[in-house]
Amino acid sequence: MNKTFLNMAKARGLKLAILDPARINMVRPNKYAKDLLLGRDSNGINFIKRYSKKEHRPVSAKAGVLSPKDDIKSAVIDADRDNIKDLINNALKSGISASSIMNEGLIPAITKVGELFEKKVIFLPQLIASSETMKKAVSHITPALKRDGFQGKKKALVIMATVEGDIHDIGKNIVSLILRNHGFEVIDLGRDVTAQSVVKAITEYRPDVVGLSALMTTTMANMKRVIDLAVSKKLKCRFLIGGAVVDKAYADSLGVNYAKDGIDAVKVINRIVV
């Protein structure tokens, strides 16, 4: 991808690039990378198919003999955002209930996505794309679910925030997205959030879990401030921390939970909230 990008930039007049000459050489642009970079490969599907190491699609998907529910499952796993609504409409039209689409199609699909991510069969961009497909599917099916009187399993309420002084929120947003798409209710307080604001939100919403994110060594200490303030106010709630600079040892030192990413967060929350 990088080589192709460099090659294309050179063809467009790039005069000076800072790069490691031992690691990069000018090769012909790679067709798959070029299509992706030029926006000609919707959702990067061809690029992913060409370069993902392991095949994860069910064999029947290729033969086109999947049931409507399996079609929906495959669409979430393959992040087919363009067709997910039509697939849901087809399934509903063929008489499958919205609850069954949810319980036997969408939820197992996003669970499978989590497993593939953990096994490193798929990577973060695919995880995000699948989560977005799931989000689209869930919002599309919600009216039909309400008509069905669908009672999803009630899941935990989670408050998420990037701590004071830290404006890095990409990771926190991904974790929030993944939690929502696993059925958790998430209140996202944003970034650069003071300890006082987090504690105010805890008092107001009484969440089951508070997720804190920090990306800098200078801001990770602010996680402790939030926890200390909540403890001093005798607020009962579980904390979960994450972000590139924190680890399990730091979480242990604060007496709180740690998760390395969104999928791990789903597991930890399911374990700690009964």
Query: For ligand B12, which residue of 6, 215, 230, 256 counts as binding (CB under 6 A)?
Result: 215
Query: For ligand B12, which residue of 243, 251, 256, 266 counts as binding (CB under 6 A)?
Result: 243
How far apart are the C-alpha atoms of 45 and 1, rounded to whole Å?
Answer: 15
| DSSP-derived secondary structure letter, 105 | I
Burial tier of 114 (Cβ tally within 10 Å: 0-12, 13-18, 19+): buried
Binding region for ligand B12 (CB under 6 A) out of 13-21, 39-47, 84-92, 240-248: 240-248
CB of 128 to ligand B12, least distance (A): 9
CB of 5 to ligand B12, least distance (A): 18
CB nearer to ligand B12: give 85 or 260: 260
Contact between 182 and ligand B12 by CB under 6 A: the answer reads no
Query: For ligand B12, which residue of 113, 129, 265, 266 counts as binding (CB under 6 A)?
Result: 265
Binding region for ligand B12 (CB under 6 A) out of 103-111, 136-144, 213-221, 224-232: 213-221
How far apart are the C-alpha atoms of 200 and 181, rounded to whole Å?
Answer: 26
- Chain positions 76 to 95 lying near ligand B12, rule: CB under 6 A, are none
CB of 169 to ligand B12, least distance (A): 5
Contact between 129 and ligand B12 by CB under 6 A: the answer reads no
Contact between 272 and ligand B12 by CB under 6 A: the answer reads no
The structure tokens 């926006």 sit at 39
Binding region for ligand B12 (CB under 6 A) out of 15-23, 149-157, 193-201, 211-219: 211-219
Compute how many other C-beta atoms are within 10 angstroms of the C-beta atom of residue 198. 26
CB nearer to ligand B12: give 107 or 246: 246
- Chain positions 35 to 74 lying near ligand B12, rule: CB under 6 A, are none
How far apart are the C-alpha atoms of 239 and 30, rounded to whole Å?
Answer: 46
Query: Token pair for residue 136?
Result: 């689209």
Cβ atoms of 156 and 273 within 8 Å: the answer is yes
Cβ atoms of 259 and 268 within 8 Å: the answer is yes
Binding region for ligand B12 (CB under 6 A) out of 39-47, 87-95, 104-112, 171-179: 171-179
Question: Which ranges constitute the DSSP H helices of 78-237?
Answer: 84-93, 98-101, 107-118, 124-148, 170-181, 195-205, 221-232
How far apart are the C-alpha atoms of 130 and 136, rounded to whole Å?
Answer: 10
CB nearer to ligand B12: give 73 or 180: 180
Binding region for ligand B12 (CB under 6 A) out of 27-35, 55-63, 102-110, 235-243: 235-243
Contact between 240 and ligand B12 by CB under 6 A: the answer reads yes
SS3 46: helix
Spatial CA neighbour of 178 closest among 81, 266, 273, 239:
266
| DSSP-derived secondary structure letter, 43 | G
Which residues sit at the interface with ligand B12, rule CB under 6 A? Answer: 165-172, 174-175, 211-213, 215-218, 240-245, 259, 261-262, 265
